[in-house]
Amino acid sequence: MSETSPTASAPGPEPFRVSDEGLDDLASALAKTIAEVRRQGVILDRLGSEPDPVPPADQQTDGAPAAGADGPKKADGPTSVFILALGGEAYAVELAALSNWVNHLLLPVYGREISTTRPWCALWHEHPEAVARLHALWLAWQQLTDTEAGLAGPSTWHRDHLDQALVHLRAPDGPFAACTTSPTRPNHRVLTTPAPQLPGMAA
C-alpha cells in the first residue's frame, strides 16, 4: 500500500496593504476612539457612584412621602458633579479619575519645568485648593474637547480655563508655595489656612 502524500495547503489571501496616508488616518481614528472610550468610562464610573434619583411625586409608590411642604426638598447625596460636593467612595472614584487625567495628559503636555517661580507638588491630591482647581479644569476639558463643543472648543479651554488655572496653581504664593521648587529637592507641605471666624467673636 503506497503512502499518500499530504495535500498541499491552499494559498492564503493576499495581504491587505494600507498606504502611509491611510495608516495615519487609522491611527488618528483609533486615538480618538480610545479617548472617547476612556471619557465614557469615567462618566460611567461617576454615574455608578451617584445615588439613585428620587422619582417625581406623581410616580412615587404608595406610602412614599411626596416632596412638598412636609417632604424632603432635595434628594440625598451630592447635587453637583464638582468634587468638593462629593464624599466617601464617590470622592475617591472621582479623585482617581482626575489623577489619571492629570498624570497622563495634563502634566506630560502642560507640566513645564519646576522652578522657584513655578512650584509643583507630587502630592497635589493632598492640597484641597489644587484638587478643586484641577477638577474644575478637567470638567471644562471634558466639555470643551467634545465634538459638540465645535472647532473652537479646545482654544476656548486653553484661553479661559487652562491658562488661568496654571497661573494660580503654580504661582510662587499659590497652594504649592511650600512644596517643590527644584526637581532635585522634592518637598511637600500643606500650608495652614485662616481659622474661621465664629459668630460672637470679636474681630
The fraction of the chain above a pLDDT of 70, given in percent, is 60
- Does residue 9 have a pLDDT over 60? no
Q: What is the DSSP string of 80-97?
A: SSSGGG--HHHHHHHHHH
pLDDT in tens, 33-77: 676 666 666 666 655 655 555 455 554 444 444 444 444 444 555
CA 124 – CA 106 distance, rounded (Å): 13
Residue 78 confidence (pLDDT): 54
The per-residue pLDDT for range 76-89, each reduced to its tens digit, is 555 788 888 888 89
- Kindly report the number of other CB atoms within 10 A of residue 130's CB atom: 24
What are the pLDDT digits (tens) for 82-122?
Answer: 888 888 898 899 999 999 999 999 999 999 999 999 999 99
- Whose cell is 467673636? That residue is 201
What is the reported pLDDT for 197?
80
Nearest Cα residue to 125 out of 133, 117, 114: 133
- Quick one: DSSP state of residue 149? G
Q: Do residues 84 and 132 make contact, with C-beta atoms less than 8 angstroms apart?
A: yes
42 closest CA partner among 86, 101, 1:
101
Question: Please, which residues bridge with residue 180 across strands?
Answer: 120
Inter-residue contact 193 to 135 (CB < 8 Å)? no
pLDDT of residue 43: 63
Q: How many CB atoms lie within 10 A of CB 114?
A: 21
**What DSSP character marks residue 1?**
-
Q: How far apart are the first and last CA of the chain?
A: 113
* 3-class secondary-structure state, position 174: coil
C-alpha cell at 150: 465645535
